[in-house]
Amino acid sequence: LIGAHRYHLTLQFLGDFEALPQAIAARAIAAAQTLQLPAFELCLDRAGSFRNKAIPWWVGCEHPAPGLTELWERLGGALAKAGVRIESGHRAHAPHLTILRDAERALAPTPIEPIAWRVNRFVLVHSSLPAQGRAEYEHLGEWPLTDA
């Protein structure tokens, strides 16, 4: 299982880099700083897995919260305006939280008891996967979502 301290939803994927170029990080930070959005509740009510060789299990939303969709769209627009290219394979909005990697079998999409998750911030993270070991995450910036 993946530890709760590593749970995250990817909003926009900026690409695969061994070391994130400083210019891209600076433009992404500047773009994120322009956003002012309200906090929202996310309802995680589905579980399943992706069909790749790592067989990651996830929990996600049957219907993404309007606040999440707005954050995803506005962040994508701000990044584009700042000249940050978004990885094309990740343009589809399919919010999910990976809870297990390298499962022994695939998990069909399944309804689960809803889990309410208060989303009150977003972060810029550079993740790396060393040849041996678990993914490492470096937080490059964090921005609060306001309470209404």
pLDDT digits 0-9 by tens, 117-127? 999 999 998 87
Q: What ranges make up the beta strands (E) of the chain?
A: 40-49, 57-60, 96-100, 110-119, 121-128, 136-144
Residue 146 per-residue DSSP state:
B
Q: How many CA atoms lie within 13 A of 141 on its CB side?
A: 13
Q: What is the pLDDT of residue 89?
A: 54
| Secondary structure class of 98 (helix, strand, coil) | strand
| pTM, rounded to two decimals | 0.84
Q: What is the pLDDT of residue 128?
A: 73
Place of tokens 């995250």: 8
pLDDT tens figures, 15-27: 888 778 999 999 9
Mean per-residue pLDDT of the chain: 86
Q: For residues 147 and 118, which has the higher predicted lDDT (pLDDT)? A: 118
Burial of residue 88 (CB within 10 Å: 0-12, 13-18, 19+) is: exposed
Q: Average pLDDT, stretch 111-121?
A: 94
Q: For residues 110 and 92, which has the higher predicted lDDT (pLDDT)? A: 110
Q: What ranges make up the beta strands (E) of 37-92?
A: 40-49, 57-60
